[in-house]
Structure 1
Amino acid sequence: MSRTLQRLVRTLLLFSLIGAIALSGFAVQAQRPNVVTMAFTQEPDSLNPMYTTQYFAGLARSLYLKGAWDFDDNLNPVPVLAAEIPSVENGGISADGRVITIRLRPDAKWSDGTPVTSDDFVFTAEMYASEKNSPLGRGVFSKSIGAVVTAPDPQTVVVTFPEPYAPWAANLFGAILPAHVLRPVFERDGTLDRAAWNTNPTVVNGPFLLKEYARGQFLLFERNPNYVGGVPKVEQILITIVPDEAAQVAAIKAGNSDLGIFLAPADALDLQGSAPVEIITVTSGYNEGWFFNLRTGENAGHPALQDVRVRRAISLAIDRPELIEGLLNNLQGPAVSFWDGTPYQDPTLQPPEYNPEKAAALLDEAGWTLGPDGIRAKDGVQLKLRYATNMRSLRRDAQQVIQQQLLRVGIATELINYENRQFLASYENEGPIARGLFDVAQWAISPQFPDPNTSRFLISEIGTAENNYVGANWSHVRDEELDALFAKQRTTVDFNERVAIFHQISRIVTEQVYWMPLWQDRDIWSIHKRLSNVRISGATAFWNVVDWEAR
């Protein structure tokens, strides 16, 4: 077959997967029975884990890049590159809880046959910590946490914390970088920020290799014969990039997408009655909500948001039952806190109240009075908020409903929809939320699931010129009491004591409305009935991809 014809066939296949307009799903699957297909409504914004927190980037990464361990569908850690999960009993956790020792599998290899060694772990830690790089966050390798990684021998990694660090299992080495590939790049360029590997990871250690990537169109993976966990039963995985949820649903119905990912509730109901799929829900710690821009100075948020009474009024003005019934078909419940769906949720907290009269009274008290046009103002400034989210249709629908709800109490909104790929990009990559180009921003967020720890509210995670604008606190929350509690929980290894601290944290975040909950966001998936052994984890979704089978 000529290259021109190969391109034509590939193009026809792509169009069939995206729009189901040329080839039937049956024909595609009959020709390629051992290929699993899925459609992403957001293109990964980076293929280097240092530079992304995007959900879809994380899904793709679990195919090609692994770390010390994954979490199974019961949220238990399972070894991958590690020979065993560190514990006190096996000597992996020191008596004082400060030192974690990871023993590696001696048979682990990179896809080019180079052994995976402790040097790769040390290099990964160095890259996150280096101020010459601009990752979205430095994690445990930040100055505030101060983990130090050493390699006493090629198969042993030792991580030493200044004090006990309770969230280590969810935060240590979820993925590692190939030192033999990227160290020369760092030494030559002085940074990894612009490394070609970030968009074309040619050497990997996961169950699949990236064979071809057409930006904006598809990613094609083929199985890695050198994967330490065994050769996958599926030969290839094809991810197509589709413009929206409607295109994903069309592909599923046509049999051209085996997995439905992050489905809207209405779409799940539709598919359940019209396609040969199983619908499952998975707890992943995500909850839909709002972050407020509390910056002052450059890219400041609306001045009204500095007043907690205004933030409380906004929450009171939103009718969540209307959203949940009208947009979610009652398949999700109202979110209560940042930690819904975890043992750390405070059971004394209730779903936010809907009370527009109380909202109006709070706004009056704060000095934001109704003008003749029905919009509140104070000192000549109108209460009009830049309400930002991405292009997901469910969120755009929510914007329309919430805009009308807020208008009833005199709050105007300018609706802004950023491209999916750009929405949560880093400051370095001109991410609009990281740069403060919003007043309120809506997306689904989770802690460092399955651990409750998060860096979203820490003062040390505020990006500044001094730290190259690296940090996860894009809202610029500054609360010393909250910071102290987060520091305390990180060093508290007793489970019940740590739960009690998170109850205190939850109450502060709720009372101060640093984050405003909307609805719980359990992941909804569809799985084509031609697939078997697919077990989705809420932490590392594709943890058992080597066992998937397609018939």
Structure 2
Amino acid sequence: MSRRPLLLIVLLLCALAAGNVLAQDDLRVLRLGYTEEPDMLVDYTSNTLLGWSMFRLHSQPQWGTTQQQEIVPLLIDEAPSYDNGGIVITDEGTQVIKFTIADWAVWSDGTPITAADFVLPYEIANDGVSQVLAFRMLGGLAGSVAQGETEKDVVVTFDAPNPDWQYAAIVPLPNHILREGYEADLANGIGFELNSWVRQPTVSNGPFVFAEWVTGSYLRFVKNQNYWKDVWFDEVVLNFYSDVSVLEQLMVAGELDMTRYILPASRAAELVAANDFLDVRTSFGGVRLELEYNQGPNGHPALKDQRVRHAMSMGIDRQFMVDEIYNGIAEVANTWWAGTPWYNPDALMLPFDPAGAVELLREAGWYDEDGDGVAEAHGVDGVEDGLPLEITATTYADIQHYQDSLLYVQDVLADIGIKMNITLHTIAEIHGSFTNNSPLATGQYDAYLVAWVPGVATVATFGPYYCTDIPSEANPFGLNGPQICNERVDELWTSLSVSLDQAEREAAADEIQVLMAEDLYTQYLVNILYAATYNKRLVWEASDVSDFTPWLNIADWHYEE
């Protein structure tokens, strides 16, 4: 027996033992499996998908949205609208949104939820010390959150009309628990991201409450006894496995109920075909692989040349990636909006042409003269002759198909004379802050194979490429780690969130796609389907494309009778 199968058996036995401890016979336990561990459980200070997702497992905003973009009241009885006076555009051009917290809406400790709980996260986001991601509060738009006439009334004001106001959901924080400690920390220059609450939120308003986190092993939530509706499961346990093969074997053994987005849709389909008690659901939430090229001072000088970036694109066969890495269950992408109603087919899509790529590199002054297979600089302005076209790259250590994709890119770039050295980091590390020495935020690599999750609910998604959003000590959570900058793109992207003219917004998205496809500071590769692999005994519903509530209906999840 080889060492690897033996190791997998040992890991599997250990995982089964742990699962038996957690899934006690007298409890209904929903068992989820991941190869990724969240960085924290309150996403105002987290830039990871799992951190964002976990926040909404234990706490909910005032309302959620369905996959049809319909509002679902969660902590309120009635959603605001222009008809009921809950939404008003003032003579000064501001937009005011008012809502009233329901009397039955309480925290898990029984304390009523009030306006102060909505004001607190707004204050944290604007205190000048806490490292809060701008787009986590009011979508990054200028505005304010305040108490209305009573402690149950909340008033959200946008400095300009927000065409997508329905996505202005705010997940409250328990003011009665956090206020005193937060203000004491703030007085000492300590931001909210260092508060133990972000990893141990022991009071919540959702169907489940944090109970226990054993780092590297599992994360456990228990039923909120004060939730406003019945909850079928007694506990939710997220189990973490460093080897995706162990996760797959536990799914096959019936020891896990679900894994979401870790397995690509193609692999999930294979498991389902071989095990009739498993099933898979797929959806597209705007997730696409992109290869971002470092334009900052640490980036390889060759990547500053558009011809080199175009040559790299011509050296990558995206259709091969779809067919071979994702077994056809994916699609080629070339823009941020590929696969959505706002895709612009006029955006440049360079063909797979390795020979043409080599010629373009030669035109740019990069070709292999010494016969070692790696192109060197020859007469490139500002670059010493003989500098090899050798770049560094990273992707996620905790999701296998990203690694497979980057290994493919490494192979095909070698065919055109570009050597790529790969180092892996976890999702939490890559998408961490400048302060925490994140590889992306601090520009440690020449190329980053990453994925953002913009959603598909509206054309006005967040934008990770603003010139003003380059990470620094003053802006530690800036999203623009590769330091991409096109001021026209910034102008157009801003208009997406403030224009009330849908045609104008779509025209802006069209132009952005044309400009970015020409610049090619980032190379979009493949649209990835969001796959949930699950045991058929689990009856469940989710809102995967919703911007705010992926666990909208988890209180109703149950085992089939």
Please, what TM-score do these two structures have when normalized by structure 1?
Answer: 0.90
CA contact (8 A) 1:18 1:251 kept: no
Aligned partner letter, 1:185: G
* 1:6-405 pair list within 5 angstroms: 21-22=16-17, 31=25, 34-95=28-89, 98-137=95-134, 139-140=136-137, 145-152=141-148, 153-173=150-170, 175-190=171-186, 191-228=191-228, 230-262=229-261, 263-275=263-275, 276-296=277-297, 300-349=298-347, 352-372=350-370, 373-378=372-377, 379-380=384-385, 381-391=387-397, 392-405=399-412
Q: Partner letter of residue 555 of structure 2?
A: V
Counterpart check, 1:458 vs 2:454: no
Q: Secondary structure of 1:382's match?
A: coil
Distance change (3 Å), C-alpha of 1:287 and 1:468: closer
Other structure's SS at 2:192 match: coil
Q: What residue number does 1:428 align with? A: 435
Moved more, 529-538 or 412-421: 529-538
User: Aligned residues, how many?
Assistant: 529
Question: What SS is found at the alignment partner of 1:31?
Answer: coil
- 1:4 matched to which residue of 2? none
The answer on whether the counterparts of 1:337 and 1:517 sit within 8 Å (CA) in structure 2 is yes
User: Which amino acid letter does the alignment assign opposite residue 273 of structure 2?
Assistant: G
Aligned to 1:541, the other structure's residue is in SS state coil
Per the alignment, residue 543 of structure 1 pairs with 552
Q: Distance in 2 between matches of 1:448 and 1:149?
A: 25
Specify the alignment match of 2:494 in structure 1.
487
Residue type at the aligned position of 2:484: V
> 1:429: how far off?
3.0
**In angstroms, what is the RMSD of aligned CA positions?**
2.4
In structure 2, C-alpha distance between the alignment counterparts of 1:46 and 1:30, rounded to whole Å: 26
CA contact (8 A) 1:170 1:451 kept: no
Amino acid paired to 1:544: N
Say if 1:28 and 1:82 are closer, same or farther in 2 by CA, change over 3 A. closer
| Residue 280 of structure 1: how far off its partner (Å) | 0.9
Contact 1:71-1:537 within 8 A present in 2 as well: no
Q: Which runs of 4+ in 1 moved over 4 A?
A: 15-25, 27-30, 138-142
User: Secondary structure of the equivalent of 2:64?
Assistant: strand
Mean CA deviation greater in 455-464 or 144-153: 144-153
Give, in angstroms, the shift of residue 472 of structure 1: 1.5
Q: Which sits farther off after the overlay, 175-184 or 41-50? A: 175-184
The offset of 1:19, in angstroms, is 5.6
Q: Report how far residue 514 of structure 1 moved.
A: 2.8
Matched residue type, 1:509: M
Match of residue 3 from structure 1: none
Q: Is the 8 A contact 2:467 2:486 kept in 1?
A: yes
CA distance in 1, matches of 2:438, 2:489: 26
Q: Spell out, residue by residue over 1:69-100, the C-alpha distance to the aligned partner (whole angstroms, 9 max, x if none).
A: 22224343322123333322222322356222
Q: CA deviation at 1:126?
A: 1.0
Q: 1:16 to 1:69 in 2, by over 3 A?
A: farther
8 Å CA contact 1:313, 1:362 repeated in 2: yes
Given residue 371 of structure 1, which amino acid in structure 2 is its aligned partner?
A: E
TM-fit CA distance, 1:166? 2.7
Q: In the aligned structure 1, how far is the partner of 2:94 from the partner of 2:38?
A: 36
| Structure 1 residues 386-421: Cα deviation after superposition (integer angstroms, max 9, x where no partner) | 111011221222222211100111111011111343
- AA paired with 2:524? P
In structure 2, the CA distance between the partners of 1:505 and 1:19, relative to structure 1 (3 Å rule), is farther
Output one character per residue of 1:13-72: Cα deviation in whole Å (capped at 9) or x when no partner. Answer: xx99886555998x9979256211111110001112112121222232221011122222
Cα deviation 1:127-167 (Å, max 9, x = unaligned): 1122111123355569x832122211322222222222234
8 Å Cα contact 1:288/1:519 also seen in 2: yes
Q: Which amino acid is 2:463 matched to?
A: S
Q: Is the 8 A contact 1:537 1:543 kept in 2?
A: no
- Could you say if the C-alpha distance between residues 147 and 133 of structure 1 is closer, same or farther in structure 2, counting changes exceeding 3 Å? same
State the secondary structure of the residue aligned to 2:332. coil
**Residue 428 of structure 1: how far off its partner (Å):** 2.9
Contact preservation (8 Å) 1:83, 1:105: yes
Instruction: Please state how far the C-alpha of 1:362 moved relative to its aligned partner.
Output: 2.3
Aligned to 1:521: 528
> Which range moves more in the overlay, 193-202 or 16-25?
16-25
List per-residue Cα deviations over 1:239-281 (Å, max 9, x = no partner).
1011132222111111111012112234212211233112110
Q: Secondary structure at the match of 2:330?
A: coil
> Are the counterparts in 1 of residues 64 and 552 from structure 2 also a CA contact under 8 Å?
yes
Q: Secondary structure in 1 aligned to 2:134?
A: coil
Q: Shift in Å at residue 351 of structure 1?
A: 5.0
Q: Secondary structure at the match of 1:125?
A: helix
- 1:267-314 Cα offsets, whole Å, 9 max, x none, are 212211233112110121111111221112xxx211112222221111
Contact 2:33 2:241 survives alignment (8 Å): yes
In structure 2, the partner of 1:9 is none
| Deviation larger for 286-295 or 447-456 | 447-456
* Inter-partner Cα distance in structure 2 for 1:487 and 1:344: 16
Return the offset for 1:120. 1.2
Change (3 A) 1:146 1:29: closer
Distance in structure 1 (CA, Å) of the matches to 2:350 and 2:27 = 49
1:283/1:76 Cα in 2 relative to 1: closer, same or farther (>3 Å)? farther
Q: Is the 8 A contact 1:19 1:250 kept in 2?
A: no
Q: TM-score, normalised by structure 2?
A: 0.88
Q: For 2:484 and 2:242, how far apart are their aligned partners in 1?
A: 34
Contact 1:244 1:393 in 2 (8 A): no
1:193-220 Cα offsets, whole Å, 9 max, x none, are 2111111111111110111111111111
SS of the counterpart of 1:94? strand
Contact 1:46 1:199 in 2 (8 A): yes
